[in-house]
Chains A and B, each alone.
Chain A
Amino acid sequence: MQDRQFGFATRAIHAGTPPDPVTGSRVMPLYQTAAYVFGSTEQAAELFQLRSYGHIYTRISNPTVAAFEERMASLEGGLGAVAFSSGLAAQLAVVLSLAQNGDHIVSSQNVYGGTVTQFTVLLKRLGIETAFAPVEDYAGIANAITPKTQLLFAETIGNPGGTIADLERLAEIAHKANIPLVVDNTFASPYLCRPIEHGADLVVHSATKFISGHGTVIGGVLIESGKFPWHNGRFPLLSDPSPGYHNKVFTETFGEFAFLMRARAEILRDVGSQMAPMDAWLLLLGLETLAIRMQAHVRNGKAIAEFLSNRPEVEWVSYPGFATDAQHALVQKYLPRGAGSIFTFGIRGGRDAGRCFIDALELWSHLANVGDTKSLVIHPASTTHSQLNDEEMRKAGVAPESIRLSVGLEDVDDLIWDLDNALKAAVPREPVTAR
Chain B
Amino acid sequence: MRQILILENVSKEFQTYHRYHAGLKAIVLDPRRITRHRDRDRFLAVNEVSFAVCGGETFGILGRNGAGKSTLLALMAGVLRPTFGKISVHGRISPLLELGVGFTHELTGVENILINGVLLGLRKKEIEAKVDDIVDFSGLGSFIDQPIKTYSSGMMTRLGFAIAIHVQPDILLVDEVLAVGDAEFQEKCFARITDLQRAGVTIVLVSHNLNTVETLCDRAVWLDKGRIVTLGSPQEVVARYQSEIAHLLATQESASVSV
Do A and B originate from a single complex?
no
